[in-house]
Amino acid sequence: MENQPKHTISQDEIVISIKGLYKSFGELDVLKGVDLDVFKGENVAVLGKSGTGKSVLIKMLVGLLKPDKGEITVLDQKVNELDAKTLDALRLRVGFSFQNSALYDSMNVYQNLAFPLTMNVKHLGKKEIDSRIKEVLEAVGLEDKMKQMPSDLSGGQRKRIGIARTLILKPEIMLYDEPTAGLDPITCAEINELILEVQEKYNTSSIIITHDLTCAKITANRVAILIDGQFLKIGKFKEVFETKDEQVNSFFKYNFIQ
């Protein structure tokens, strides 16, 4: 498959800027000087084997972890310097789609989607809440699942509802943490297509954390390979993987692509 997202990217507008980022946990050096810019409307896939610091990176983007050194700017705000109130306001503009979907088991789909609205957008009435829930469920193709409990949904459906819950606050940036992990190939293809649809319909900019090469190839305008705490190569999928670099090729062999 040679298709890649066709969405228009504003290369004169950077929405995420990462400069000289370092992070260690005790004696373990996870990130060792990471640099990356993400443009408005762009999907960037961060590729790496398990345990290479991919999830650490996106947690630092929203202030869940602090870097040891370096600078992170998100939507023109320096994340490291924000107070708690300003950081909370920034997080509302950044959607985080968790690997395990992070749905509340005791709530049905409607309640799971309504929860972030009632917590964060105080002025909305029931009619507006209903309208937003209907919109995001239609966007993920699950408008008939409103009254279902998470336990009644398939893994792919839970992923979709997790993405819908993120979209309901109309974020400008989407962070996807292993969106295709644990899914069968057909469901993976559906989630990849959904990521492209979200980019197109909502004009989001995204970082997609994955070790799935097929996901990266289909959904990302550019890919960045994280090896040994640094981005070894950043560029279009074909540019990155048409190389004799053994570290890049070993990652390609580690995975499988049609």
Q: Which range marks the domain in which residue 181 is found? A: 10-93+171-254
Predicted local confidence at residue 2, as pLDDT: 45
Predicted local confidence at residue 255, as pLDDT: 61
In a domain, 230, yes or no: yes
Question: What is the pLDDT averaged over residues 173-178?
Answer: 94
Band of the pLDDT at 182, cuts 50, 70, 90? Answer: confident
Predicted local confidence at residue 148, as pLDDT: 95
φ, ψ for residue 41, nearest 5 deg:
85, 0
Instruction: Give the bridge partners for 23, in sequence order.
Output: 31
In a domain, 19, yes or no: yes
In a domain, 153, yes or no: no
Band of the pLDDT at 100, cuts 50, 70, 90? Answer: confident
State CA 30 to chain mean position distance: 20
Predicted local confidence at residue 241, as pLDDT: 86
Instruction: Give the integer Cα–Cα distance in Å for 224 and 227.
Output: 10
Instruction: Give the integer Cα–Cα distance in Å for 109 and 114.
Output: 9
DSSP 152-206: GS-HHHHHHHHHHHHHTT--SEEEEESTTTT--HHHHHHHHHHHHHHHHHH--EE
Strand ranges of the sheet holding 69-74, from the earlier edge strand across to the other edge: 28-40, 10-25, 69-74, 77-78
8 or 12, which is more confident = 12
In a domain, 150, yes or no: no
* CATH code of the domain in which 203 resides: 3.40.50.300
Whether pTM > 0.75 for this model: the answer is yes
Question: What is the pLDDT averaged over residues 101-108?
Answer: 89
What digits encode the pLDDT tens for the residues 202-256?
A: 999 999 999 889 999 999 999 999 988 999 999 999 888 887 787 777 766 656 5
Residue 85 to residues 18, 63, 105, 178, Cα–Cα distance (Å): 22, 12, 29, 29
In a domain, 203, yes or no: yes
Strand ranges of the sheet holding 94-97, from the earlier edge strand across to the other edge: 94-97, 173-177, 205-210, 43-47, 222-227, 230-235
φ, ψ for residue 122, nearest 5 deg:
-70, -25
The 3-state DSSP class for residue 107 equals coil
What total number of domains does the chain contain? 1
In a domain, 66, yes or no: yes
Predicted local confidence at residue 197, as pLDDT: 94
Predicted local confidence at residue 7, as pLDDT: 63
